[in-house]
Amino acid sequence: MEDREQYVRYRQDRVVLAAVGARLDPQVSRIEVRLPRSVAESAVAAWDREELGRVGEESREECELRDDAAELAFIGLAISSRGVWDAEEVVVDLDVVQIAPALRAAR
């Protein structure tokens, strides 16, 4: 049982992380970003795409890939609903929870 004690600490860390998030939430909201047209169009295409197959058993990597694709689709939804096309770019305000996965994927 000793080797599982770290999970008690991790649960406590999650409570503190949630407290940090509760304080940050009212301080940060949407951020206006500019995206190249080709990237924005690909995000919108991800939103418009219909995934007809059921999700079966997945590896961890496959699950993470599907989650990232969903995050891209939500950015595509934001672009579709409130994006302003400006020549070769789109200007859209994204919620920080939409920006974070994109930043993680870029790393």
Residue 52's pLDDT is what? 77
pTM for the structure as a whole: 0.79
pLDDT < 70 regions, the chain: 1-3
Structure confidence at residue 55 (pLDDT): 73
Q: Which residues pair with 92 in a beta bridge?
A: 33
What was the pLDDT predicted at 2?
A: 57
> In angstroms, what is the C-alpha Rg of the chain?
18
Measured distance CA(104)–CA(107) in Å, rounded: 5
- Between CA 106 and CA 100 the distance in angstroms is 10
Give the pLDDT of residue 54: 78
Give the up-direction half-sphere exposure of residue 55: CA atoms within 13 A in the CB hemisphere: 10
